[in-house]
Amino acid sequence: MSRKRNTKIIMALALMIAIIGLSVGFAAMSTNLQITGTARMDPANWEVKFANLSTPIITGDATVITAPTLTDTNIGTYQVELTKPGDSITYTFDVTNTGTINARITTFTMPNPTCTGTGTSATADATIVCNNLVYTLTYTANGATVGLNDILPAGQTRNMTLRISYPSTVSVLPNNLVNITDLGITIVYMQD
């Protein structure tokens, strides 16, 4: 029995030496990799706004009844009057991206003006005016129409031109006063 016992002890010692040898061999052949570093979050700044509304450029006998008001996000409450072909009123203003993120136009609504005639020829007068009225919003620098997906880069300003006109090529005039409404334009900028 002592032989069996000695054999078992020798086998156990051999096994322990083998395990220790493998561990030392593994440690000698392994490499410890580390990734170290730091990060920080610098919050971006977002601000797109209107600025620098011009005095109107008036052509012909057009008149400004109520001058527009300007806030950072609204140009409104203006009222103008056109009286004959060739009349127009033009405003220019800036849209400025003072933020650190590019802005893209995701909603752009340019309405079709509504014309409401007065007097005995109200419907005919309204049709004449609305069929000939020109209402545009363009970039002043190149005359391109403002539209969806236009980009306003961070830190930049674009000048826009808003114009309402009754072209000089029109040969028909309404008989009575025509009120024009629905001149509101909606521009929504989102982060690009």
Q: Are 102 and 151 in contact (CB under 8 A)?
A: yes
Q: Both tokens of residue 6?
A: 């000695």
Q: Are 153 and 97 in contact (CB under 8 A)?
A: yes
Q: Both tokens of residue 181?
A: 């409404």
If DSSP codes are grouped into helix, strand and coil, which group holds residue 172? coil
Mean per-residue pLDDT of the chain? 88
What whole-number distance in Å separates Cα of residue 146 and Cα of residue 120? 38
pLDDT in tens, the chain (192 residues): 677 777 777 777 777 776 776 666 666 665 667 777 777 776 778 899 999 999 999 999 999 999 998 888 888 888 999 999 999 999 999 999 999 999 999 999 988 899 999 989 999 999 999 999 999 999 999 999 999 999 999 999 999 999 999 999 999 899 999 999 888 899 999 998
Q: How do residues 61-84 score in pLDDT, each as one tens digit?
A: 999 999 998 888 888 888 999 999
Whole-number pLDDT of residue 145:
96
Q: Both tokens of residue 88?
A: 């127009």
Q: How do residues 38-54 score in pLDDT, each as one tens digit?
A: 777 767 788 999 999 99
